Structure 1
Amino acid sequence: MAHFYTSARAWGECGRGWRGPAFVTRPEVPLDKVVVSRLLDPLWHMLFDREKDKHWVPQIDRYHNNLFPILQLPFEKNCGQDGVCIANLDVKFISTGADILTVHVGAQLNLTVQLKNLAENSYRTAVEFNHPHGITFRKVTIIKSNRKVPVACTDSVTREDRSLTNCNISHPVFAQHAEVTFILTLDVSNSETWSHSILLNVTSTSENEDASTLQDNRASLDIAVRHRVNLLVRSLDSTSYLNFSLTSLESKEVVHRYKVENLFGRPVPVNVTFIAAQRTCCSLLWDLLTIKTEQPKTNQTRCAVLGEVRGHTAAKGNWTGHDCRAESCWVIHCTVDQLAPQEPLTFVLWGYLSLSNMSQAESRTYDLQSGAWISFDQEKYQQAGDEKNNLQFLYANVTTHVDTIKEVDYIPYISGGAVGGLLLLILAGVILWKAGFFKRKFKDQMAENVGLEATEDNCSEPLNKDSPAT
């Protein structure tokens, strides 16, 4: 049997965790056939009888005499004619297009790194990542290499105000002209307080690189940081319909309600801007008296009327709430110090609507609109969702349909109808009278009947009645 001893440092790098002299038993083979590919330190070979010297505790000291013959088996190095290997490492970040780190629960940061050895073999090559606290190592994935290059990374280590993540590259030898591209995945803490950007540094090291070629052994990457938020503004029950008479002076109450909330995430300072129609094109006037807020005690809200703006009458369609679709509008700006999750705010726009000039008003239907939208520091926060559609949750509008009714005076029509009917009745009576419709012939008929009866009475005595004697 051949018994091999090597230094503690080299054996420990094999991953066995042994920190004392290493002892390895191999089948007896010629010395020129012994190959250990993972170690760089010279291998010390000793021959002895284990049965005879079983109580001997071997200790290797290359500078002192030993009890047994020692042979040194150096490893072959591909270092050219001079026999000295000089490495030349080149490391850089590969841009993936994701230049913004969005912080949220379960957020991860993927760094794509390319490492090249432009010269001879590099020994004990390593890549060190320097990053802020709150970022920890999760996994490493090799995506491209021109030969088999193992990459092993260790958990992040905290040092002062920064953290370090170390990766061993193809230990112990990173061959000449070798190249590897890998993705380092890091977990990002959602509870950490982040600035607007973070600086990431990567440094490659080797035991045998000349100091004159170290300029490309370091690279930096500055990534913008955004905290993910999910803000929402929506309309609540409001005044949806009113009608006015053009013949009477009256005013009616109009109420528009909005709800602003932070669905999840961290508290966010926000601004809420309202634009409400003051005067429409046809003399409808909304006298906006006040804006009320219903808020938790933890929120501090301040609102102020910025003034009146001139507007325009736009075509009907989807209204974004950012423009004034009337002759003039009120603009109200509210500042919320901290909009906490699950603590919504309710804003109420309240006032009276009236007709300011009835002579110009027409009988038709008008839309009285108001809009609300949320704004925040986009250098620090990012709205959740699809980039193209996430803004639709940041504005809402309320529309009140108003009918102006011109009442008809029916008295002239009623009077005219009555007089006309009376005249027609008189005319009909005259015509009937002229036609003899109203002559009374009953008396004449009665007189004729009486005359006939009298005649009959006179003729009722017999004609042969005896006359008196003479």
Structure 2
Amino acid sequence: MECGTDNICIDNLKVDFNFSGYIEAGIMQDMNMTVFVENRGENSYGSHVKVTYPFGLSFRKVTSKQGRVGCVSVDSDQKMTLGITTCYINKPIFRANSSAVFEITYSTNNESNFDRMVSFTATARSGNDEHTADSELSINKTVGEKYAIYVTLIRYGNSRIRFNITAMKNNLEKPVNQIFKVENDLRDVNLTILIRVPIKLGEKDIWANKNLQIPDCSIDRDEKPTIPDFVEALKKHQSVNCSVAVCRLFRCSANLKRHDLKFYNISANVSSGWIEQTGLRSAVFELVSTASLEYDKNKYYYFDSLDTAHFEKINTQVEVYEERNLLLEIIGGAIGGLLLLALITTGLLKVGFFNSQYTLILEKPEAPAE
């Protein structure tokens, strides 16, 4: 029996566990709990571990990493009671100085609703009458819970995406409408939409209204560009964004219910005064505004492995062209026509065209008199 000279088996069990991440509530997701059991004493009989877990989790499976493990589980069917998973270790004998490692998988669903910190307890037991005094038979740990959210940012179709403007005219204005659409799919959520709008290039304002506002948003601050030499930058890429222009940061707080839609409208006149300082008389600039999401990452996680819907931008194309001078074109056309006529006449003279025609006239016989 390997229980010493007294034939009394005194085991020394230690149980511990950890989690892979946090509980992802609000969608059908799995969470894994890895359990470690050691017997540091003599043989242990009928050794097992009981894990208690909260209402809202469902037992799915157990995977043995080391040793033989078999589990049964009863989920809680009401909020005030706990589910219990019982796992038997190397049944019937958990031998001296051996260990077992196994992973329990629980699942959540979109109806699950937990406290911010969720508590689990693991307790080791055996059929032995005695345990050593330093046995570690029970442990309690908590794991954080986060709710899945899926909020999309897209450019709304009514945004004006292109307009023309004449170069070298500093007093022109053109209406621009940039609209961000925010759509919430999974659950109620409080978040902030951060919108950045280029407002100044060099010393010139981009918008005719210096006090540009966005409804339902507040001005947070104006941010300086990261590239000081905007002229050289715009020669390579005609993108008027926050890297070359001063941008105004707007904070838009939103309490979104499930399936809510919200629109943020940047609507004002763009001035032409900023274009001349670029040195480009003919170009297609892109006026770029951006939007991103900010939320409590201790409470929520974004349900998208690519994390792509956090950010959106709107490019409004500003086509700059030189105004045609019709008078110069008419004068130039007339002068060109006269030059062409002179060249043709000179060529004909050189080949003797006019001399041959004159000779033919002289040699033509006179008509007989009647």
Superposition TM-score tier, normalisation by shorter sequence: 0.7 to 0.9
Determine if contact 2:170/2:271 at 8 Å carries over to the other structure: no
The aligned counterpart of 2:95 is 176
The aligned counterpart of 1:224 is 144
Alpha-carbon distance between aligned partners in 1 of 2:10 and 2:93, rounded to the nearest angstrom: 12
Partner-residue secondary structure (3-state), 2:133: helix
Determine if contact 1:278/1:326 at 8 Å carries over to the other structure: no
The aligned counterpart of 2:319 is 403
Q: Which gives a bigger RCO, structure 1 or 2 (Cα 8 Å, sep 6+)? A: 2
Q: 1:335 corresponds to which letter in structure 2? A: S
Alpha-carbon distance between aligned partners in 2 of 1:416 and 1:104, rounded to the nearest angstrom: 74
Q: 1:397 corresponds to which letter in structure 2? A: K
Change (3 A) 1:248 1:417: farther
Partner-residue secondary structure (3-state), 1:216: coil
The aligned counterpart of 2:15 is 91
The aligned counterpart of 2:270 is 353
Determine if contact 2:55/2:79 at 8 Å carries over to the other structure: no
Length-normalised TM-score, structure 2: 0.74
Deviation at 1:281, TM superposition (A): 4.5
Contiguous gaps of at least 5 residues in structure 1: 1-76, 293-301, 423-470
The aligned counterpart of 1:278 is 199
Once structures 1 and 2 are overlaid, which stretch shifts more, 202-211 or 392-401?
Answer: 202-211
Q: Could you list the per-position Cα deviations for residues 41-92 of structure 1 after superposition, in whole angstroms to 9, with x for gaps in the alignment?
A: xxxxxxxxxxxxxxxxxxxxxxxxxxxxxxxxxxxx6533212221221222
Q: Could you list the per-position Cα deviations for residues 295-351 of structure 1 after superposition, in whole angstroms to 9, with x for gaps in the alignment?
A: xxxxxxx411224332244677799x9x713432222110001x2332222221100
Determine if contact 1:87/1:176 at 8 Å carries over to the other structure: no
Alpha-carbon distance between aligned partners in 2 of 1:416 and 1:168, rounded to the nearest angstrom: 97
Alpha-carbon distance between aligned partners in 1 of 2:78 and 2:337, rounded to the nearest angstrom: 108
Q: 1:260 corresponds to which letter in structure 2? A: V
Determine if contact 2:36/2:99 at 8 Å carries over to the other structure: yes
Q: 2:253 corresponds to which letter in structure 1? A: T
The aligned counterpart of 1:185 is 105
Determine if contact 1:93/1:220 at 8 Å carries over to the other structure: no
The aligned counterpart of 2:219 is 305
Q: 1:257 corresponds to which letter in structure 2? A: I
The aligned counterpart of 1:208 is 128
Alpha-carbon distance between aligned partners in 2 of 1:421 and 1:120, rounded to the nearest angstrom: 114
Partner-residue secondary structure (3-state), 2:258: coil
The aligned counterpart of 1:394 is 310
Residue 173 of structure 2 is aligned to residue 256 of structure 1: no
The aligned counterpart of 1:235 is 155
Determine if contact 1:103/1:188 at 8 Å carries over to the other structure: yes
The aligned counterpart of 1:109 is 31
The aligned counterpart of 1:340 is 257
Q: 1:113 corresponds to which letter in structure 2? A: V
Determine if contact 2:57/2:107 at 8 Å carries over to the other structure: yes
Contiguous gaps of at least 5 residues in structure 2: 339-370
Q: 2:314 corresponds to which letter in structure 1? A: V
Change (3 A) 1:410 1:283: farther
The aligned counterpart of 1:197 is 117
Q: Could you list the per-position Cα deviations for residues 201-258 of structure 1 after superposition, in whole angstroms to 9, with x for gaps in the alignment?
A: 2110224264543542223444332222222111122222222223473311000111
Determine if contact 1:123/1:171 at 8 Å carries over to the other structure: no
Determine if contact 1:274/1:331 at 8 Å carries over to the other structure: yes
Change (3 A) 1:249 1:200: same
Residue 144 of structure 2 is aligned to residue 144 of structure 1: no
The aligned counterpart of 2:242 is 324
Change (3 A) 1:325 1:85: closer
Once structures 1 and 2 are overlaid, which stretch shifts more, 203-212 or 103-112?
Answer: 203-212
Determine if contact 1:140/1:153 at 8 Å carries over to the other structure: no
Determine if contact 2:148/2:301 at 8 Å carries over to the other structure: yes
Determine if contact 1:137/1:165 at 8 Å carries over to the other structure: no
Cα RMSD (Å) of the superposition? 3.6
Alpha-carbon distance between aligned partners in 1 of 2:245 and 2:219, rounded to the nearest angstrom: 18
Residue 5 of structure 2 is aligned to residue 81 of structure 1: yes
Alpha-carbon distance between aligned partners in 2 of 1:143 and 1:308, rounded to the nearest angstrom: 56
Q: 2:163 corresponds to which letter in structure 1? A: L
Count of residues paired in the alignment: 326
Q: 2:199 corresponds to which letter in structure 1? A: Q
Alpha-carbon distance between aligned partners in 2 of 1:318 and 1:249, rounded to the nearest angstrom: 21
The percentage of counterpart residues that share the same residue type is 21
Deviation at 1:415, TM superposition (A): 6.4
Deviation at 1:160, TM superposition (A): 8.7
Match of 1:266 among 162, 173, 187: 187
Deviation at 1:359, TM superposition (A): 6.4
Length-normalised TM-score, structure 1: 0.60
Q: Could you list the per-position Cα deviations for residues 254-275 of structure 1 after superposition, in whole angstroms to 9, with x for gaps in the alignment?
A: 0011111123x22111111111
